[in-house]
Structure formats: C-alpha cells, structure tokens
Structure 1
C-alpha cells in the first residue's frame, strides 16, 4: 500500500504547524508581535498533544484487530502453496500502515474483496482435496499442475493484498479442478478399457494399476458414476490381474501337456487356471480343445468295438456301441451313418427271415400267423411289395376260414333261409379258391354235407292236450291237438303254447345233427290264478 505524504493530510498539517512555529522564533519581530506569538503558543501545543494521543489510540486499535481478530479469519482459509504468516510477523509489518490513511468505505471494499478471494479459495481447496483422494496426479498430472500454478499465482496476489486478482486466480484454478472432476466418468471408462486390454495382452502390472485406479474412482461416489455401463467390473478386473501371472504359467504348462497328448494332466491344469480366473479366454479355449481330444479318442475306441461286433455277427450289440459313441456329442454323423448301415443290414436280414416264415405259414394254411409275419416285415419297410400283396391275400383267407368254421360250428342256424343263403355263398367262394390246400378242401366238404342235410325234412312228433293253441315260431301255426307229426328241416325251432287262464309255455328244440327229440310236448297246464295264490 502506498505511503506517499499526499495520502496523509493529518500528519502533513501537524508538521507544517511545527515548522511555522520554528521559523517564527528565528526572525526579528517587534515586542507586540512577540506578545501575539507567545499567547498563541499554548493553543498550538494543545492541538499537537491531542493529535498525538489520537494517533496512538488508532495504532492501539489496529494492533488489537491484527492480534486477536485477523488470525481467526485467516486461520479458516489456509493458503495451499505457502505457509501461513506468523502473527508476530503481521504485527511487525502493520505499523508501517498509517493509522488514519484508509477511509471506512475503502476498508469495507477491501474486506469484501478479501471475503470473495477466501470464498474462491475455499472452493478451490475442496476440489483439490477431492482430486487428491482419487490420485489425480496419476491420470491428469499436467492439467492438475496447471491448476496448482494458477492457485500459486493467487497466493502471490493475496500476500500483497491484491484480493481482486487473487479472486480471479483462485477462480481459474478452481474451475480447472472442477473440469478435471467432470472428466472422472470418462477417465473411469478409459481406465477400465486400458485394464481390459492389459489383461488380454497378459500385462499384469499395467492391469493392476489401471483397475486399482478405476476401483478408486468408482468408490469415490462422484456424480454420474452409478449410471455408467463399464466393459468390466473394476473389482473383477483387479482380481483377474492379481492372479494373471499364475494363470498364464498354468496355461503354458497345460498347452505343453496337450501337445504331448497328456490330455488328463492338461485338463487338470486348465481347470486350475479357470478356478483362479473363470473368465480367461485362453484357459476356456484350451480346456475345450483338450476335452474334445479326449472325446475323439474315446469315440474312436467305441466305434472300433462296434465294428468288431458287427463283423462277429452281433449287429444289435454293434448298434448299441455306435449309439454310445454318438452320445459323446462329437462326430455324430459318423455314428448315425454306422447305425443306419447296421440297421439296414439287420432289416434286410429280418425281412428275409419274415418272408420265409410267412410263406411257410401260408403252406400250412395258417393265415392269421401269415398275416402277422407280413405285418412285421412292413413295419421294417412299408414299401415291400411282396409283403403288401401277401398281407392282402392272407387277410382274405383268414376271413374265409373264420366264416367256414362259424358255419360248421352252428349248423342249426341253416334252417333260416337268409343264413342258408349266406352260408351257401361262403361255400361257393371257398370252392373258387385256386390252389386250395387240404385244410380248406376238408372244411368245404364238411360244409357241403351240412348244407345238403339241412334241406332234408325229418319227422317230428308233437303232443298236447287239445286245449292249447300251439305255434311253431316263424314256421307254422299248429292250433290245438292231441298229437301230430310234422316234417321239419334240420335246424333250431321254438314251439309256443297259449291257453286262456293258463301260463304260456315255450319249448326250444333242435332237429337233425343227431339232436332230434323223440316227442315235443307243448301244453298249458298251470292256471294263472294258482300262480297268484
């Protein structure tokens, strides 16, 4: 601050009065003038003493402010780049400032500028502290040093109480540090990317450095970090980086074992590597390659055993081996082709056997068995023409046998005209069969005899009480009689007797086929009233 006398009007007036007073004592004056001067001297002396006391009081007040009030203000805003001035040094330097040289308005402006500088300094110090917590020198050394240089310039202005320039310098430094804080999300992304590249290139120390810094940045909880989508978790990356050297060593050893076809040992080392770092691509690929080699070796052994069984005439067992090889999940086409070839060979053999069995059954006229053999052949290959034709013929012959047997087992039904006609048609169909075998001819001969006999009437004697109305169902009404004789064709008959007041009677009997009764009695003898009692 300037100490020019032009800025000190009070001091200037006191000195001028004293000089005037000294000049007057050295000049020749008259007694009257001397008396005037002598009477004015006490007044001047009183003014000088008053001004001196006022000056001393002002100095005392300034000293109190400097000693007790100013340290408490400055203590809150410690300068970042220079040690705080000792209070005794402040006391020594302040007396050089004239006590009454600054007006209250100027003092208020200076105080306002000082507060503004201190506010900017506080913001600057807060940003600096946050940046130092995340090792700013590691990722933005030059930019940070530039902001520190701007802050140091502010300190220089502050020391000479040029608070306006100090405020500007602190503001620039604080803004530079704020901009560094704003770049932290990008820095975090960059560090993760660099760490991932270092892992891919097996540079463990670089990976540890990048992921450690990324983890530090992520844990700092700066704004905007939570919403970031990182390529890799910094914590996971750091874990992988710490075990990288051991993992690489295991992978190298496993590769050597794989090349020397020591597959089991190679699998063990690859799995140990993945236990340390389950995300390692080289370990994953290596393990898959070794496991595939093991399966290929096992596949070859199983297929060889299958072909050996096939050569030994054990196709079913061979197929089981081929299927087992296919379940390994490799070379599936080869296993499926072997199975298909073996199944075709088996099918061809089975078809030949079934055809022979079907033809043998047909020679014996066992048509149901013949049909079953052809069905089995068609289940193997539905396009076999011989089996299609054979099944059709065998099915028809089996149906003819079924009808012939039914007619022979129920000859009594031939008494009915419709049944007789149907049976005669079946008989004619049988006779039309070419190359009929002995079994068919035998059944046809028996049926022929049965048909002939079924048309020859046989005398049957009926006996009643001459009070009962007798009817032969679907044949004839006999009326009431005591005894009559009727000629009936062989078959099954039903005679019904009715009499008023008596219970109806029903007599079933068969004519012919050695079952003709000697006498058929049809009479109603049981009164209805007697039943009710």
Structure 2
C-alpha cells in the first residue's frame, strides 16, 4: 500500500489540521487516516527485530574485524603541545613573581628614584605579553624572565637608595639646607613611611625654616641684652628639633650665660651679708650659688668661711646664754647651754671650764636643797657633820647669788636649831618598860622628863602578858615642851 502523494498544485505551506478534513478509522467515509502508515512501519520494525537475525548467515568468529590503518598524515603533534603547555605554565609562574616584585617596588616608590629603569623592565613584560598572545610561550617566558631580573635588580637597590636618602637628609639638616633636606626625607618617607628615621627626619626638615627664624630672633634678643627672651627663642627652636646642633649649642650657651650671671649675683649677696655678720643670709646665698655650680671653688671657700663664722657666733651666743643663766642660778639650764656649745666644737677651753663650774654649782645646789628639805635628819650625828661640811663648802663660794646666800643662811640656822634640845614629858604606869629607839631604855616610871634634839623618835612599851605598844613622834626645833603617854594595857589573849 502506497502513501498518497500530495497534489503538486496545492500550496507548500504547512497544512492546517482540523476534524472536518481528517477522516477517522471508524468512519472510513472520510479521507485516509494518518495512523495507517505508522502501523505499517511498526509491523516492519517488529519483523526486522525478531526474524532478520535468523535469516542472516552466522559467522565463525564473533570478533569485530580490525580497522584498516589510517594512511592519512596527522595534523597535530602531542609532544609539541606538551612543550607549549609547559612553557605556558612556566611563563605564568614567572609572571606571578614579576607582578609580586612590581608591587613591592611600587610600595617603595620606585617611580621616584628609578622611573626609567622601572619602565624599561615593564616593557620587557609587555613584549612577553605579545608573544604570549601569539602562543609563543617560550619567547614570552624569556621576556618575562628578563623583566623579572630587571625588577629584582631594582629591588636589591632599594635599601641602598633609602639609606642614601636618609644620609643625604641628615647632611642637609646639618648644613641648614631646607630644600635638600625636605627632598631627601620626602623620598625616604615615600619608600619607608613606617621607619622612624624617615618620619622624624621629614618632620625636622619641615620645621627647619621656623627653627632658623627662631635662632635669628634669639640672636637679636641677645644683642639687645634681653637674655631671657633670647633663651626663650632658642628653647622654642630646640623644641622643634632637639638634634639641631646650632639650636642645642645656642640654648646651652645662653643658659650658661644666665647661670653665670645668677651665680655672680648670689656670690655678691653672700659676701656682703658675711661682711655684715649676717651669716645665715650669707649661707643661704652661697647655697644658691653652689646649687648653680656645685664644684665652684670660690663658692665652696665662701661657704666654709660663712659656716665657720656662724659656728663661732653660735658658740658665743650659747656661752652668753649660759652665763646669764648662771647669774640667775639656773644651773641645769646653764649646763645644757654649755653642753650644746661643746657639742658644736669640742675641746674649747672656755666651754669646758664653764661647764665644770656650772656642774659643780648645780651639784652643790642639789645637795643644799636636799639637806634643807630634811632638817630632822640632822639629829643624826653623821648627817649633822655632813651638813656642817656642806655649809663650809657653800660659804667659800665667792660672789654667791641670792639663792645660794639664802641656802647658806637656812642651813646654818638648821644646824643651830638641831643642837637646841626640846623638853619631853613622858607618862607611864610603873609597869611598862619604856625604850626610846636610838637613845636607849628608859625603864618603868610614872613620869619622866627628858631633853631631846629636834627629830623623829619612836617609843616602845613592853609588859609581860600584854601586847607591846609603839608611839612615834616628831620634835621641831624651838618647839615648846610636849607630853607623851605610853602604857601597855591590852592583855594578850583577851577578847
């Protein structure tokens, strides 16, 4: 069954499919269905799959026949491609190094100190790019390598260029060459902004014009005799650059001039005060002078002279105070003054003599005071003899003061009274044994009258079977007769 051929007279545009124009297999009255060719093709395909292998003759060997050798010439070369790939990789590696070194050189401002060499090195790299674009990788690698070596050579020069810039900047600063210093340190700062020498050097170079103006102003002020103003200008200049030799020397010289002037002023004031015997003012002035010049020999000699004179004045004042205290018979206070004088300068004869004299009088005063404070002790013969000897010693003092004179009179009166007896009337019961300590036994009695020197006494009464009794009494010189009763009246064991 053949397919219907299309009518050649019909148009070539794709047909427009619709239900009215296409017949249905169930309704053969329409035009032939489009499914019929598809069914026939499917039947032929099934027959080919299941029956055609049986119809074909079977081969003895199932292996595919070997392909016939290709006789045509290959257009590509694998070895050459591998070499090109290797050259390309090497070119890329060198190019990466080249870019790294280029960046490092730009970081140290290579354009400022080797612009021509840097551009020439980059041109080698540009030539390499041209070869690379033409797939001539070997030539590109050679150009890149040449560029890298040129850049590395510049890189090795960087530290030398930096050091030369720093050295040139320092030399320019030393010569006060503003333009050269700024130029050198700007290059150093561009190459190494993190380096302190470059930073500080550039700052000093930028401050140099102002520094030079301040030094000029300092010079004019000094010429006008305005030393303080000159120092202030020099100090400001030194603050701008403490390493500037001219500023440092000018400031040091002006400060030394001011120090010399002040030193002369203090020395003149001290010598004038010393001539007027105002040693403390002189010492204060010489102290200020030595503060300015600690090792100045004239200041040291003047200070020793002032202190020596002040020491002599101090000792003389202490001696005078001691003598005044002696005149008022204030012996402990006088001794203290003499001791102070001796401590200031030991071995002075007049001080030692005065000290011994004051100590002897102080001791005598103390003994007299103690003896006069205990008149009743004179009842004892030993104390009486000591008092008499003390009175004799005091009486030999020439020009005794009022206090000593009174002490002599009082002691003499006490010695007289100590030998004037006082009448004592004793009463008892004829049964009590009576004893007077330091005198002796008085026996038993009803009444007894005795004569005793002024003093303190103790009576004791004893009686068998009775408790002892004690009676203490004091007799004063010139006292009227006194009566004392002593009896033992308390039996032992009685309630």
- Cα distance in 2 between the residues matched to 1:443 and 1:501: 49
Alpha carbons 1:365, 1:437 under 8 Å: kept = no
**Pairwise CA distance, 1:408:** 2.9
Query: What does residue range 189-204 of structure 1 map to in structure 2 within 5 Å?
Result: 191-204=165-178
Give the CA deviation at 1:392.
1.9
* CA apart distance, 1:520: 3.2
2:189 to 207, 212, 215: 215
Quote the residue 1:135 is aligned against: 109
Mapped contact 1:315–1:342 kept (Cα < 8 A): yes
State the shift of 1:241 in Å.
1.5
Once the two structures are superposed, what CA deviation does each residue of 1:229-266 show, in whole Å capped at 9, x if it has no partner? x7x44323222211111112211321342244321221
Partners of 1:216 and 1:325 in 2: CA distance: 52
Matches of 2:200 and 2:305, distance apart in 1: 53
Contact 1:296 1:330 in 2 (8 A): no
* Secondary structure, counterpart of 1:508 in structure 2: strand
Residue 41 of structure 1 is matched in structure 2 by: none
Structure 2 partner of 1:483: 447
- Partner of residue 338 from structure 1, selected from 290, 302, 323: 302
Cα 1:265–1:445 shift into 2, 3 Å: closer
3-state SS, counterpart of residue 477 of structure 2: coil
- 8 Å contact from structure 2 (residues 290, 300) kept in 1: yes
Counterpart contact for 2:423–2:481, Cα < 8 Å: no
Structure 2 residue 80 is the aligned partner of structure 1 residue 106: yes
Check conservation: 1:456, 1:489, Cα contact below 8 A. yes
| Offset at residue 120 of structure 1 (A) | 0.9
Deviations 1:456-478 (A, max 9, x none): 65442233566777664555565
2:84/2:138 contact within 8 Å kept: no
- Quick one: structure 1 residues 504 and 277, their matched pair in 2 at CA, closer, same or farther if it must change by over 3 Å? farther
Corresponding residue for residue 254 of structure 1: 218
Separation of aligned partners in 1, 2:164 and 2:487: 121
1:124 maps to 2:89: no
Check whether the contact 2:458–2:470 (CA below 8 A) recurs between aligned residues.
Answer: no
2:145 and 2:247 mapped to 1: Cα distance?
A: 54
Q: TM-score scaled to structure 2, two decimals?
A: 0.67
With structure 1 as the length reference, what TM-score do the two structures score? 0.63
How many pairs are equivalent?
Answer: 423
Measured against aligned partners, the alpha-carbon deviations of 1:358-387 in whole angstroms (never above 9, x if no partner) come to 567768876556535533533543331221
How far is 1:343 from its partner? 4.0
- 5+ residue gaps, structure 1, are 1-50, 55-98, 221-229
Pick from 491, 508, 519: which aligns with 2:473?
508
Unaligned runs of 5+ in 2: 1-70
Structure 1 residues 417-426 or 388-397, which shifts more? 417-426
**2 CA distance for matches of 1:337 and 1:215?**
57
Partner of 1:91: none
Partner Cα separation in structure 2 for residue 256 and residue 330 of structure 1: 32
Distance 2:493 2:164 in 1: 119
* Conserved 8 A contact 1:351-1:380: yes
Cα distance between partner residues in 1 of 2:200 and 2:362: 80
In angstroms, what is the RMSD of aligned CA positions? 4.6
CA distance 1:312–1:387, shift in 2 (3 Å):
closer
